Structure 1
Amino acid sequence: MSLRILIADDHDLVRETLAMFLDADGESQTVSAKDLREALEMIKSDGPFDLVLLDFTMPGMKGLEGLTKAIKANEGKPVGLISGTATRLIAEQALEAGAAGFLPKTLPAKSLVNAVKFMAAGEVYAPVRFMSGKDDPEETDFEKDLSERERQVLRGLMAAKSNKEIARDLDLQEVTIKLHVKTLAQKLDAKNRTDAAMIARDAGFV
């Protein structure tokens, strides 16, 4: 009997790649959703699924809140998280919150397929190297787009400092900080400085 799997991720490429790998051996049937709302609707209409995989940073997730909603909706069947940016701490919190497992997007395809089968069988999957911190990336996908200076400014925003305070800390002009804040808001698709700080916190940026 084939496994029914729902993959929810806002990146088409990730969804298609995962589905391709999982459906290759003919043992699973994969359907996909692009955000949490769509995923929950599909669980309601076609579920429960043998396994639901949620991208940690897709729209609607609000951190682990989305995970809890999906676990409830999938009627006790496994729900796992996939992420390219989450840290070990988030993975630990997700498992504590009842996730069936945690898949870093850096996993090789073969490991990914095995992990999915493992979770669908009712086991909890957490990659040992990732959980031990050995594979903690030097920088996450989230940080790759940010310059070192932008990261410093972002940390200031997360500490709820004013532009003036950040400027003083970094020995820069206040106007320069203003520009960095503007760029950060654009890059992170944030409405304002508080929103930027929240997005960074959700992505596990420290």
Structure 2
Amino acid sequence: MNVLIADDHELLAEAVAQSLSRNEGLSAVVATSLAGTMDELSSNEYDIVLLDLRMPGMMGLSSVDSVLKRAPGVNVVLFSGQIDRRFLDDAVKLGVKGYIPKSMPLKSLDVSLRLIYSGQTFIPHHQPQESQLNASNLTSEPLVERELFVLRLAADGMINKEIARDLGISEAQVKMIMRQVCQKLGARNRAHACVVSRERMLI
């Protein structure tokens, strides 16, 4: 069983790789960015990809989908400290084979990966986060590209005037877009929208 650990936390990734490689019939390689992951998948064969959601190049579900398309037939598993349940459900619908929390003991990781390798989807029980508890406030309508762009700029600390200048629109239009974003995310305000969007790996 060949495992690709796609994670930019090199100390953690190397420790996991070394631990897995001690098991008979199992090898592990590390990639530290989305680009590196895509290169590995193009040039080598893997059975499982442990995919960190916050490494360089990752942009939420669209990046997860890119990895799945680059490696059809490979078991792609989300590898993260925390994850929003709605994001996880959406990722599983795309074809992801489960979720491995980074808090999982190394001695349990081998067993979990072998379950996934055998064809099972692995999702450990975990408590809902705030954004999950407020799921009733969310609409089913996804954010469009312009809304995501405004949200990313806001999360980077830009004020409405700066966002308006970058997009070539008025401040009133920026405010209207942010209201739409908050409504779709069930967020109380701009800052809360940034928090929720990061939990859902949208930005």
CA deviation after TM superposition for structure 1 residue 110, in Å: 2.3
CA contact (8 A) 1:4 1:30 kept: yes
Q: Percent identity?
A: 31
Is the Cα–Cα contact under 8 Å of residues 56 and 86 in structure 1 kept in the other structure? no
Aligned counterparts of 1:97 and 1:54: Cα–Cα separation in 2? 14
Distance 2:69 2:96 in 1: 11
Tell me what 1:95 maps to. Answer: 92
Which residue, 49, 58, 62 being the options, matches 1:61?
58
Matched ranges for 1:96-135 at <5 A: 96-127=93-124, 129-130=125-126, 133=127
CA contact (8 A) 1:79 1:100 kept: yes
Q: How much has 1:51 moved relative to structure 2? A: 0.8
Contact 1:100/1:124 (<8 A) preserved: yes
RMSD of equivalent CA atoms: 3.0
Unaligned runs of 5+ in 1: 138-156, 164-193
- Which runs of 5 or more residues in structure 2 are unaligned? 131-153, 161-189
> Of 77, 81, 85, which residue of structure 1 is paired with 2:78?
81
Mapping for residues 134-153 of structure 1, pairs under 5 Å: none
Q: RCO higher in 1 or 2 (8 Å CA, sep ≥ 6)?
A: 2
For 2:29, the equivalent position in structure 1 comes to: 31
Match in the other structure for 1:181: none
Q: For 1:62-97, what per-residue CA distance to the aligned partner results, in whole angstroms no more than 9, with x for missing partners?
A: 011121111111122211110013222222222122
What is the TM-score with the length of structure 2 in the denominator? 0.63
Q: CA 1:199–1:10 in structure 2 vs 1: closer, same or farther (change >3 Å)?
A: farther
* Alignment partner of 1:5 out of 3, 6, 11: 3
Distance in structure 2 (CA, Å) of the matches to 1:89 and 1:125: 16
Moved over 3 A (4+): 196-200
Aligned pairs, number: 147
